[in-house]
Structure 1
Amino acid sequence: YQKAIEFHQQSLAIKREIGDRWGEAASYNNLGSVYYSLGEYQKAIEFSQQSLAILREIGDRWCEAASYNNLGSVYYSLGEYEKAIEFHQQSLAITREIGDRWGEAASYNNLGIVYKSLGEYEKAIEFHQQSLAIKREIGDRGGEAYSYGNLGSVYYSLGEYQKAIEFHQQSLAIKREIGDRGGEANAWFNLGLTYYKLKRISEAKEAYLQSRELYQALGLAGYVQKCDDKIRQLETRKYPLIVAFFLGVVMFPLVLIGGIIVALWRLLKRWLRKA
């Protein structure tokens, strides 16, 4: 990241020197993106706002909308959801005005993500469905899969696990079709989480194993570890079930026999008293 910052700063200096305002805006935007990746959100905001100011000045509406979306994403990462909504709505308004269908879908998607984090699930579903409709219309298969996955996550949060499974399976099918192995791994992982909630343990384990295999092939050790943790969680869940089974199969007959012995002893005592 440090080298990227140096190169973008050098590029910025040249663009300012030659009076390339659009190029200057692009450099500010790129610096904002690097600082966003570093988690330095205040710096990301500063550079993104500098980029936005130039884009508004030169009248580049398409890039202006993209800048609003970027700022919305930064504020979302800061947990400032209301500000994030404001910026995504500004982006949405411009994309609709200029007929940028892809940008419009991205704005709906981002609004859906923010509303999910606010716990406003019905609004989140509405925005994700609007995003999905556009992605299907323009033939964006990767985006379509992403929207299905987002809808699956919202229904998971609502506790509607069967619906969540349906959407994650639709996402998985497209990701496999287009060769998005990272996306496929993510879809399998989400299916594992959802199967677990429904106590479908064997299906959950199979989903985690599929996810693990893909993440391992991609060299993503951190995600492999997450899968291993979930598989271990499934294994530990088995022990209480085994104990419950033991109590049901072995202990119940013993309790029953004990009850019969007590009843017989009481009958014997009564008979002896009468005798």
Structure 2
Amino acid sequence: MKHQKLVPGQKNLLSFVLAVGNLTGNSRILSAWGLLILLGGLATPPGVSATDLTRQLHQPNSIRNTPFTSPWMGRETRDWADQRVRIAEEYLRANTPSKALDALLPALEVYHHQGDLRSQGLTYELMGRAYVALGRHKEAENAIRRRLGIARDTGDLQQQVFALNNIGTFLLQQGDADLAARDAFAEALQIANRIKSAEGQGLSWSNLGLAAARLGEYNKAIKFYETALTYRRQVRDPLGEANTYNNLGDAYFATGDYQNTIAAYGRALRLANASRDRINELRSIDGLVAAHVSVERYERAFELLAQRLNLAKQMQNLPEQLLSFESYARTYERLGKYQTARNFYERAAIIARNLQDSKKEVQLLDRITQIRNRRG
């Protein structure tokens, strides 16, 4: 979903950030998975762990490469399909959604043949993620709604909570169904309250905060985020807690409350750093830079930018390195130090060329041209 609209608070932050460094560049937050994290994420109930998956993929008798030829006729039918689902999860983690779909579609055929609704539900959920990543919106919505339908048919209230949050998240991404998204989150919260699911309550309250912010109700959003945090701490969900703190920072930024903005992003940064959650770590740094520049604390902003660039280099992530250089350039340009800004733009342009991102390279070269005759 490359052109998803942000909530009003995020729009304001993004507009400001573009003025000081494109700090929420679309190689991260506006990428499919980064975006989902920003919006609360397509929820994932507890299931197969990454450790289990890795172990199974490396078993000597793994059937990972078994061809798909009438698998329901053999003894390993269920194992075969389950293996495809686990492999699909691995492909999604590796950001190769098309390969994930190649694994999921035959597995789904097996589950349909066997009438296994529970496994169909999980498969549809993963298919929804893959379609989201590929920008295939109609197929994504169909898969996500099928997942909810199965949860309702089987009376699985916990899965209904996650599925409703997924639908609400999807609707927010479409940009024109904010009220419908809010209703989905509210229904999810109602069910989570009924079954006393702290995980579902935390997720639903956080997503209700996003919906409120989208509607310009920032004070209400702040209250929702703060409520969400109590549940996310209760279930010891550092990734979810860091995400909610970042959302809270966005809401405070939208209200111009920079002291609380910095406090919220700071908590997110500490949590993300401790859990090695790089996406939220980068996002919180970006928010802190924007907030500190807003109050003209440039020394602290540059310290954070150095931290950001170091992190991007450790990750060997060229797109994030590009964003770091561009952020430096915008900040120096704001200070009127045009020659230094130009140097950073040139370094960013080199990376864009190496990434074969011609559109970004043209934008950067245009910016260089605009400041070439300035002095600073």
| TM-score computed with the length of structure 1 as normaliser | 0.82
Aligned to 2:169: 73
Question: How big is the shift at 1:17?
Answer: 0.7
Aligned to 1:218: 315
- Find 1:171's aligned residue among 268, 291, 296: 268
Q: Which amino acid aligns with 2:159?
A: C
1:24 and 2:114 are equivalent in the alignment: no
Question: How big is the shift at 1:61?
Answer: 1.1
Q: Which has the higher Rg, Structure 1 or Structure 2?
A: 1
RMSD (Å) for aligned C-alpha atoms: 1.7
Question: How big is the shift at 1:240?
Answer: 7.4
Aligned to 1:145: 242
Question: How big is the shift at 1:37?
Answer: 1.7
Which deviates the most, 130-139 or 10-19?
A: 130-139
Structure 2 unaligned residues grouped into runs of 5+: 1-96, 339-376
1:239 and 2:336 are equivalent in the alignment: yes
Structure 1 unaligned residues grouped into runs of 5+: 242-275
1:155 and 2:155 are equivalent in the alignment: no
Q: Which amino acid aligns with 2:147?
A: S
Aligned to 2:287: 190
- Find 2:229's aligned residue among 109, 124, 132: 132
How many residue pairs are counted as aligned between the two chains? 241
| Identity score, percent | 26
Aligned to 1:4: 100
Q: Which amino acid aligns with 2:324?
A: C
How far does the alpha carbon of each residue in 1:71-90 deviate from its partner, in whole angstroms, 9 at most, with x for none? Answer: 11111110121111111111
CA distance in 1 between partners of 2:268 and 2:104 (Å): 36
Aligned to 1:248: none
Contact 2:98 2:134 in 1 (8 A): no
Which deviates the most, 57-66 or 219-228?
A: 219-228
| TM-score computed with the length of structure 2 as normaliser | 0.61
Aligned to 2:153: 57
Question: How big is the shift at 1:219?
Answer: 2.5
Give the helix-richer structure, 1 or 2: 1
Question: Larger relative contact order (C-alpha < 8 A, sep ≥ 6)?
Answer: 2
Aligned to 2:194: 97
How far does the alpha carbon of each residue in 1:153-197 deviate from its partner, in whole angstroms, 9 at most, with x for none? Answer: 111111111210111112222223333344333222211111111
Aligned to 1:14: 110
Aligned to 1:261: none
- Find 1:35's aligned residue among 131, 141, 162: 131
Question: How big is the shift at 1:143?
Answer: 2.6
Q: Does the residue aligned with 2:335 lie in a helix, a strand or coil?
A: helix
Question: How big is the shift at 1:133?
Answer: 1.3
How far does the alpha carbon of each residue in 1:204-223 deviate from its partner, in whole angstroms, 9 at most, with x for none? Answer: 11111211211221122222
CA distance in 2 between partners of 1:51 and 1:93 (Å): 19
Contact 2:125 2:144 in 1 (8 A): yes
CA distance in 1 between partners of 2:333 and 2:145 (Å): 50
Q: Which amino acid aligns with 1:209?
A: A
Contact 1:189 1:227 in 2 (8 A): no
Aligned to 1:265: none
Contact 2:202 2:231 in 1 (8 A): yes
Cα 1:19–1:162 shift into 2, 3 Å: same
- Find 1:45's aligned residue among 118, 137, 141: 141
